């Protein structure tokens, strides 16, 4: 169940209440029993822990390259002539002139 924070208009105190979504909002202060309580938006306590949640946690270039050498099926075939477009195989390469 979510935890909601309320603030009293009379005493200025703040308190937290665990409520269901369907529960009605509180209207009486739990600290001074006065009316005029309002729900306050406060930052959540949600924290992502572990690796991989931030840009600095992504693998380094060395680690990325080591993964490529482990997979023998993931090889790119490049033409021996230095053509980078792959057009040499079809006979339309400009460098073969």
Residue-by-residue DSSP string for 6-45: EEETTT--EEEEE--TTSPPP-B-TTT--B-EEEE-----
Q: Is position 28 within any domain?
A: yes
Q: Is position 62 within any domain?
A: no
Tally of domains in the chain? 1
Q: Is position 31 within any domain?
A: yes
Q: Is position 77 within any domain?
A: no
Question: Containing domain of residue 21, as a range?
Answer: 3-40
Q: Is position 21 within any domain?
A: yes
3 or 73: whose pLDDT is higher? 3
Q: Is position 88 within any domain?
A: no
Q: Is position 34 within any domain?
A: yes
Mean pLDDT across 19-43: 92
Q: Is position 10 within any domain?
A: yes
Model pLDDT, residue 1: 83
Residue 14 has pLDDT above 80, yes or no: yes
For residue 85, what are its two tokens?
A: 């477009």
Q: If you average pLDDT over every residue of the chain, what do you get?
A: 75
């Amino acid at each position: 169940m979510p935890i909601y924070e309320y603030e009293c208009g009379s005493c200025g105190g703040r308190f937290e209440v665990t409520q269901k979504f369907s529960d009605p909002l509180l209207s009486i202060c739990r600290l001074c029993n006065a009316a005029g309580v309002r729900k306050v938006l406060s930052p959540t306590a949600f924290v992502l822990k572990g690796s991989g949640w931030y840009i600095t946690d992504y693998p380094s270039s060395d680690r990325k390259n080591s993964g490529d050498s482990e997979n023998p099926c993931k090889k790119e075939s490049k033409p021996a002539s230095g053509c980078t477009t792959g057009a040499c195989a079809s006979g339309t390469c400009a460098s073969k002139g």
